[in-house]
Amino acid sequence: MLERVTRLGEYEWEVPAGTVPGMRVPGRFFLSDSLYRSLESGAVQQLANVATMPGIIRYSMGMPDIHWGYGFPIGGVAAFERDTGVISPGGVGFDINCGVRLLSTPLTIGDLDHRRELIETLYQSVPTGVGAKGPVKLSLGDLEDMMVKGAAWPVNQGYGLQKDIEYCEERGCMAQAESQSVSAKAKQRGMPQSGTLGAGNHFLEIQVVKEIYDPDAARAYGIHPGQICIMIHCGSRGLGHQTCTDHLKVLEGATKRYGIVLPDRQLACAPLSSPEGKAYFGAMAASANYAWANRQMIMHTTRTVFEKMYRIDYESMHLVYDVAHNVAKMEEHSHEGKRVEVCVHRKGATRAFGPGSPDLPPAYAKTGQPVIIPGSMGSSSYLLRGTTTAMERTFGSTCHGAGRILSRSAAKKTISGAKVKNSLSKEGIIVRAPNDGAIAEEAPGAYKPSAEVVRIVDALGISNLVARLEPLGVIKG
Amino acid sequence: MSYEELDHTADVRLRVRSPSLNSLFEETALAMMNIVYGVSRPGTAEKTLELEAGNTENLLLDFLSEVLFLSEVEYLVFSSATVQIAGNSLRAVLAGESFDPERHRGGTEIKGISYSGLKIVKEDEEYVLDILFDV
């Protein structure tokens, strides 16, 4: 598979049409020489598979954190034309609207005493890991409401500030949500889990702003050197997982009914205009809204902990932004000299809308959308801004994280969780997780260097660096 | 358990070998429990499942998704499974203990069972399954 790849530029590579039968467009991905060396053949195969799907326009694209997933590669971006295109859960993933938000505080590094106690309090306050139940008992009516209103639901219940809503991608709510397309099973899973972090690579991290690359953008985003921020990474929990499972089954049948031939069953899809496609879109949007509400509730708990421990105002902690990195959205983009409406699938990729784009809060209109790139545990995270180049080249998209290079099992075999914890502790980073295995799986050595991934997106111009944040403490599921 | 973890960068990919389809299904369900919860003890909680699907692979997908669902909403960790497959339908009895945060947080959450690369083949006297879990 890799032998078919051709190089187009310093960071740009092509998978020619014909690499797998039925490709409608070529594949394109963005990597440096050093990251290309860790590219798996499976990821290229998946990128090529996506190019066979009906209605895809321009390219099947892979961001610099591209790696082997299921269905789409992770880091995969593809846009499907509204009238002829399809929608697929394989381009979104099981964790619908897995995403990241960044909360700024008025504290600086010198103010952050009792750090171990802070991490322990957060670990006790934010339910984490397998089997965790949320802090609020939702009724079915509450859940339905949450799926329709998204981040606004917890805010209206007192778990946040009105202005938080404005600082979420899509204002924390996809209007196409249809809670009736979410199964009773998914709702049953979602009811007790709202406000829980989950497990795996999900985390809540205390960070300090270490370096500013773009002072004007940093000022617009309210970020300055030495500042304490909190990054929250999680998704739609069992509700989203079940929604994907339920609709994959329906869409597999639909794929056959509509005569669509696919090289991978996980790419099961249906025309955007079909009843099956619409039902998945509605259920996916409802799950995405649940995820925004979930991150809002976790942020509320975090603010409350900081308010009490450091005697700062709840309102002095600002949501910088919240981005989704597993989602499909209807958006308008330029294609072959025309404005077209497309369904952009981002699977492990972040929206990176440039200055003047719709859906940005007025305060960010000139700067562009904040793009939040979490590093692996113990490594740097980055704040970037969306660009006009991203609008022109990648349907307003960029990378979403570091991207794995070592499998979880290999990480557990070769890395000791206890040793990682100790070495991070020596660097002043406190890790709190339910078990050492969870730490080994997510150890920094298991990931591509986040610095290299963001360097490439910055060099390509599909988003530009604003600030670097370093971890001080992390809680994991 | 007779399963091995195959290489996959992001997720958990397993190869399970078993002499019969029934035991293949049973072992895969228990492998899944092991990934999510770590080690568990036998228990008295019991759940019965009946399912039908268009083919064996879909029957397995539906079965595993159902085990995951039941385990999560009933807060149960299954340590035994008895599966009887007849054609494209299945009856399963799952038994185990209640979820205990002190003992069952040694694993990682499975978000879903992927269709990618799923295959069941019969090699000589045994069935061999390749399956990928999104974690």
Q: Could you list the active site residues of A?
A: 400
pTM above 0.90, yes or no: yes
Residue B12 lies in a domain: no
Residue A15 backbone dihedrals phi, psi, to 5 degrees: -110, 105
pLDDT, tens digit (0-9, with 9 covering 90-100), for A207-255: 999 999 999 999 999 999 999 999 999 999 999 999 999 999 999 999 9
Would you call B107 an interface residue with chain A, using a CB distance cutoff of 8 Å? Answer: yes
pLDDT, tens digit (0-9, with 9 covering 90-100), for A285-314: 999 999 999 999 999 999 999 999 999 999
CB contacts < 8 A (A, B): 109
Strand ranges in A404-453 using DSSP code E only, listed in sequence order: 430-432
Q: Taking 80 as the threshold, does the pLDDT of residue A6 lie above it?
A: yes
Residue B119 lies in a domain: yes
Distance in angstroms (rounded) separating the CA atoms of residues A80 and A328: 10
Taking residues A400-410, report their average pLDDT. 82
Single-letter amino acid, residue A351:
R
pLDDT, tens digit (0-9, with 9 covering 90-100), for B38-50: 888 999 999 999 9
Residue B106 lies in a domain: yes
Residue to test with chain B: of A45, A65, A70, most B Cβ within 10 A: A70
Q: How many domains does chain B have?
A: 1
How many Å from the N-terminal Cα to the C-terminal Cα in chain B? 20
Residue B9 to residue A405, Cβ atoms within 8 A = yes
| CATH code: domain of residue B35 | 3.55.10.10
The C-alpha of A95 sits at a distance from chain B's nearest C-alpha, in angstroms, of 7
Which domain, by its residues, includes B51?
Answer: 3-7+18-134
Residue B115 to residue A70, Cβ atoms within 8 A = yes
Would you call B12 an interface residue with chain A, using a CB distance cutoff of 8 Å? Answer: yes
**Where exactly are the structural domains of chain A?**
2-405+447-476
Residue B109 to residue A248, Cβ atoms within 8 A = no
Q: Say which of A93, A441, A477 has its CB closest to residue B134.
A: A93
The tokens of B86 are what? 């007849």
Residue A188 to residue B132, Cβ atoms within 8 A = no
Helices B56-74 and B21-37 pack at an angle, to 10 degrees, of 40
Taking residues A191-199, report their average pLDDT. 93
Would you call B132 an interface residue with chain A, using a CB distance cutoff of 8 Å? Answer: yes
Question: Are the beta carbons of A13 and A7 closer than 8 angstroms?
Answer: yes
- What residues of B are in contact with residue A94 (Cβ under 8 Å)? 111-112, 134
Would you call B38 an interface residue with chain A, using a CB distance cutoff of 8 Å? Answer: yes
Which of 3.30.1380.20, 3.90.1860.10, 2.60.40.420, 3.30.379.10 is the CATH number of A2-405+447-476?
3.90.1860.10
Element (H, E) at B52: strand B45-52
Question: Are the beta carbons of A118 and A125 closer than 8 angstroms?
Answer: no
User: pLDDT band for position B1 (50/70/90)?
Assistant: low
- Percent of chain A at pLDDT above 70? 100
Helices A237-257 and B56-74 pack at an angle, to 10 degrees, of 160
Closest-CA residue to A359 (of A177, A221, A173, A169): A169
pLDDT, tens digit (0-9, with 9 covering 90-100), for B81-116: 999 999 999 999 999 999 998 899 878 899 999 998
Residue B13 lies in a domain: no
Residue of B nearest to A187 (CA): B73
Distance in angstroms (rounded) separating the CA atoms of residues A294 and A128: 13
Q: Say which of A67, A129, A245 has its CB closest to residue B9.
A: A67
